[in-house]
Amino acid sequence: MFESSDVSEMHALVSRHFTTHRLRILTDRSVNGRSRFRSLHQGTVAMYEIGYGTAVEVEPGELPDFYVQIPLAGSGTVAINGRQLGSPLSMAGPGHRLSMAWSADTLAWVVLIRQEAMERALTTRLGEVPSGPPRFEPVLSDAGSTGAWLRGISGFAGWAEAGLLDRSPLGRGHFEQVLVHGLLDAQPHSLSEALADRGVGILPSALRRATTYCAEHAHEPISVADMAQAARVSQQSLRAGFRTHLRTTPLTYLRRVRLDLAHRDLLAIADGRGIGTVTDVALRWGFTHLGRFAQTYRHCYGVTPSQTLRRAGSR
C-alpha cells in the first residue's frame, strides 16, 4: 500500500496505473493529511483502493478503458460528458469524458477492465468482432443484477487480499471472465440488444471449447492439432471456424492470449507482487524472439515491456 502526504506523488502514481489526468486540490483541509493507494489486483481486470486525503477534482478526460467507481466512504460527484450523475456509484468507458469531485474523506474501489478484454468477451458472445466498444449506462444500481455483480466485486477483493488470485492462475482467469461477462449482462449498454438477440448461441460449441482450452493451457506448448483435439473437430474445420467467427487464426489467437498473460505478469512485477525480467516473462509464455515480442507488445499496449517494468523504479 502507498501512502503519502504529498498529493502530487499520488497524482503521478494514479497516472501510471490509469491514464494521465488533471488534478486540482479544492481545499487546504485534509483527513490525516495522507493520500492512500492500494493495488488489490493487476490483470485484464484490475482493482484499486484510492483516497486522496484532501478534497480534489479529477479530470482524466476521454478514457481508454472501462472504469467502475465504487464509493466506500465520503461523498463526491461524477460527471460524464459534462452531465452530472445522480450517484457516484458509476462507470465510464471509451468515448466518455469523465470528471470527479471527491471530498477529503472519500475512499473508493476503482475497477479497471481493459478494452481488449471487453472486446474479446463481446467477440465470443456475438460471434464477430464488435464495430466499437459498448457504451454503458453510467449510473449503477446496488440492487438487482447489478447489485449481485457488485457483490461479486467484493468477493474478488476478498480473494485478492487473501492471496488466492496470485496462487491460482486458473481461478484468477475464470474470476476475471465472470466479472467481464457479468457486467455485460447486468449493466445496460449499447450492445445489450445484440447480445439478447444472440441468446446463449454465442460461438459454436467447438470454438468455445478451443478458446477455453487456450486460456487454461496457455502455459503449455500448444499446437493447432492440440486445439482441434480439444474442440473435437478437424484442424481444417478449426481454422475455418476461427477465420469465420473470430477473424483470426488459431495460433494468432493463442499468441494474443499469451501476450495478455505476459502483460499481466509484467504489471505484477512492476507492482511488487512478482519478480523477474522481461526475458523471464517472455520465455515463460513462449515468446522466444525477444525483439518481435517487444514490437508486438508495444503495438498492443502502447509501451514496451521494459517501460512497463520501469513503473516500479519510478515510484
pLDDT tens for residues 70-111? Answer: 999 999 899 998 899 988 999 999 988 899 999 989 999 999
What is the tens place of the pLDDT at every residue in 284-301?
Answer: 998 988 999 999 998 888
Q: Rounded to an integer, what distance in angstroms lies between the CA atom of residue 121 and that of residue 140? A: 20
292 class by beta-carbon count within 10 Å (0-12 exposed, 13-18 middle, 19+ buried): exposed
Question: What pLDDT is stored for residue 3 in this prediction?
Answer: 64
The alpha carbon torsion through 40, 26, 72, 60 (nearest 10 deg) reads -50
**Is the domain defined by 2-115 classed in CATH 2.60.120.10?**
yes
**pLDDT at residue 128 is higher than 80:** no
Domains of the chain, by residue range, sit at 2-115, 203-248, 252-313
**CB proximity list for 27: less than 8 A, separation 6 or greater:** 54, 55, 104
Q: What is the CATH number of domain 252-313?
A: 1.10.10.60
User: What's the pLDDT at 200?
Assistant: 43
Q: What is the pTM of this model?
A: 0.66
Residue 54 bridge partners (DSSP) = 30
